[in-house]
Amino acid sequence: MRSATPSTAPETGRLIEAAGVSFAYASTPVLEGVDLQVGRGEFVALVGPNGSGKSTLLRVLLGALEPAAGSVRLLGRPPALVQDRGRIGYVPQRPSLAPDVPATVREIVATGRLAHRGWLRRLTGNDERAIDHALASVALEELALAPLSRLSGGQQQRAFIARAFAGEPELLVLDEPISGIDAGSQRRFRDSLVHLIDEHGAGVLLVSHELSAVADVIDRVVVLKRRVLFDGPPAKLVAEGVSLGVHAADLPLWLEDLR
């Protein structure tokens, strides 16, 4: 178990702050009065059934959508005013690359270092080490020189996760990143998250139906079903008989008991 105590994070350590956020598509409400915070060095898992508003909330937090009500601060500023996006790593659901792009896995992962070196500078030793570490974290070392387009969907997902790791972001946001990833890669994924948090002080916001791979290192679980139904340590959910190693089909069953 990690020793981080994120509940004591000072206000200046907040990477995400959402207060009273509501959002609707046309006349259909998706989010209602959502409060959410993620601090430096904190690992927060966001869970909820399909259609609960998780991905919409991520888009609001990152500035892709404007909330109908409430406020959001990202890295201490309104999302629209955040210029240094290299401080944020984001892996969306099912990321993809045009099939005719001939980039190798390593070249894709290396783009995660652009915020550190810019477009014109050559890769430094630090860049190369960060890229190697990121590839190892998702078990893609042997496929580093393979064209990304030739990889399976799960392998491509791992490459995009590695790209986010390579950037050593202050805030890492992941939307269902381990769907379709084998158990061994999930363990490496977990260890890399711990490294990013403990060694670099990053904050992590993870959306997932399956938390068993990271259950022992999560600081807080936020249960969303249009509004926040629970926000607290995973031990409290476990004490109430809730398993964190759940899947999409049975997740709503235990959510129904949270009011």
pLDDT digits (tens, 9 = 90+) for 98-148: 666 789 999 999 999 887 666 567 888 889 999 999 999 888 999 999 999
Give the range among 6-20, 88-102, 155-169, 192-206 with minimum mean pLDDT.
6-20
> Where are the domains positioned within the chain?
6-255
Pick the CATH number of 6-255 from 3.40.50.12240, 3.40.50.300, 3.40.50.11900, 3.40.50.2300: 3.40.50.300
Q: Strands, DSSP E only, in 12-126?
A: 14-25, 28-39, 43-47, 69-74, 88-91
pTM of this structure = 0.85
Residue 90 is given by DSSP the state E
Q: What local confidence, expressed as pLDDT, does residue 248 receive?
A: 44
Q: Bridge partners of 72?
A: 18
CA dist 26 and 157 (Å) reads: 32
